[in-house]
Amino acid sequence: MSNTLDEEIDSLLAERRSEIARLRSKFRNRIPVICVSSHNSSFKIERLKFLVPVNMMYGEFKYILQKHLNCQLMDNPDYYGENTTIYLYVDNSIPKMSTLLGELFKKYKSDDGIMYMVYSSENTLG
């Protein structure tokens, strides 16, 4: 008997939820974040999955991504330099730099218990 596509998706979602629940029980003060590239981004970040402290500010996390990006770009012939700007969106908006990731997580986490952020090399909303 073969599963339908909906059953497979439900199964994968249940697997992901249980994995996230296991991680959250092991690392109680951290939240799962996945950073996804925008369709118009001119760069890619190698590491996409993060477990970040709930009390980390959005600006701190963006700075960490920026540093990681600059280190990665140094090995790239199309190096953009230290002033490469990264735009980091949560639910199609850019939060205040002082917003805690824990607050954003409570508001914007997905059904699978992960907060997804989209990064871009251009400000596509403004």
Could you tell me which residue, 87 or 78, shows the higher pLDDT?
87
- Cβ atoms of 113 and 20 closer than 8 Å: yes
Model pTM score:
0.78
47 in any annotated domain: yes
Tens digits of residue pLDDT in 29-50 = 999 999 988 887 777 787 889 9
Residue 84 tokens, joined? 């490469």
99 in any annotated domain: yes
Q: Could you list the residue range(s) of the whole structural domain that residue 24 is in?
A: 5-120
Total structural domains in the chain?
A: 1
The CATH number of residue 100's host domain is 3.10.20.90
Tens digits of residue pLDDT in 60-77 = 999 988 877 755 554 555
Helix (H, G, I), strand (E, B) or coil at 93: strand
Looking at this protein, which amino acid is placed at residue 56? Answer: M
